[in-house]
Amino acid sequence: MLDFRLIGQYLPDFLSALWMTVQISLLSGIISLILGTVLGILSLLEYKVINVPIKLFNGFIRSSPLLVQLYLVHYGLPALGILLVAFQSAIIAFSLNTGSYISEIVRGGLNSIDKGQYEASKALGLSWNKTMLKVILPQVFKRILPPLISQFSYLIKDTSLAAVLAIPEITYMARSISSTTYKPIESYGVPMIMYFIIYIIFSVASKIILNAQKRTVKENSGNLMGKKRAV
C-alpha cells in the first residue's frame, strides 16, 4: 500500500526539489534561447570566420554526451582558473547544450522565411536591426514554437543530470529520500509523476499550437482560393 503519511511528510522536500528543477530549467531556458537566436542569426550571415566555429561548436555539442559536457564545465573550467558553484556549472552546461540545438531550430526557421519579406523590408527602408526584430524574428518564432517547446521539455528532463553535482533537484531528492526511508514506490513515484505532468503539459501545448497553425494555414489558403475564384 502507498504510505500517504510518508508522502505528506516529505512533500515540502519534493516541492522544493521541483522548484529547484524549475529554476534551473527556466534560467538555462532563457539563456539558451538568447544564445540560440544569436547563433542562428550569425550562422545565416555566411561569414566563414563565424560559421566554422559555430559549426564546430554544434558538432561538439551534438555528438558528445551531456554528462561529459557537464563534467568538462564543472571540473574543466576551474582548472582554467574559473571557479564555479555546482549550480552555475549546471546552468552553463545546460544553456550551451540547449542553445546549440535551438540555434539549429532558429536557423531552420530563418531559412523558411520567404525572401520577399527581406526585400519588402529593404524597400520600406528598414534598417537591418529593425528588419530582424520587427519583421523576421516574430514570424520565425511563431513558426518554430512547436519544436522550441519540445526542446524545452528535453531540457527539463536533462536537468536531472544536475543530480550528479549534488544539486537538490527532483532526481537527487528522489534518490536521497529513497535511501533514508527505504520506500522506493513513494520516493520514486512522486518525482516520476512530477516529471510526467510537466512532460504532458509541454506535449499537449505543442500539439495545440501545431493544430492551430495548421488551421490558420488552411484558412489562409482557403481565402486565397476564394479570392481567385472571385477574380
Establish if 183 lies at the interface with another protein (CB under 8 A).
yes
Establish if 53 lies at the interface with another protein (CB under 8 A).
no
Is the CB of 133 or the CB of 201 nearer to another protein?
Answer: 201
From the list 66, 64, 72, the residue with the least C-alpha distance to 32 is 66
Cα distance between residue 214 and residue 204, in whole Å: 15
Residues 79 to 98 in contact with another protein, rule: CB under 8 A: 79-80
Task: State the DSSP H helix or E strand holding residue 81, giving kind and residue range, or none if neither.
Answer: none
Establish if 68 lies at the interface with another protein (CB under 8 A).
yes
Q: Which of 8, 63, 114, 180 binds another protein (CB under 8 A)?
A: 63
Is the CB of 38 or the CB of 193 nearer to another protein?
Answer: 193
Cβ 71 to another protein, closest distance in Å?
Answer: 5
Q: Which of 16, 60, 120, 142 binds another protein (CB under 8 A)?
A: 60
Three-state secondary structure call for residue 40: helix
Establish if 184 lies at the interface with another protein (CB under 8 A).
yes
Q: Applying CB under 8 A, what is the total number of residues that bind another protein?
A: 43
Cα distance between residue 172 and residue 167, in whole Å: 7
Is the CB of 79 or the CB of 83 nearer to another protein?
Answer: 79
Residues 156 to 175 in contact with another protein, rule: CB under 8 A: 157-161, 163-164, 170-171, 174-175
Residue 98 exposure: Cα atoms within 13 Å on the Cβ side = 30
- From first CA to last CA, the distance across the chain in angstroms is 71
Radius of gyration of the chain (CA): 22
CA distances from 40 to 6, 35, 110, 128, 166 (A): 48, 8, 8, 16, 33
**Where on the chain is the footprint of another protein (CB under 8 A)?**
59-60, 62-69, 71-72, 75-76, 78-80, 157-161, 163-164, 170-171, 174-175, 178-179, 182-185, 187-188, 191-192, 195-196, 198-200
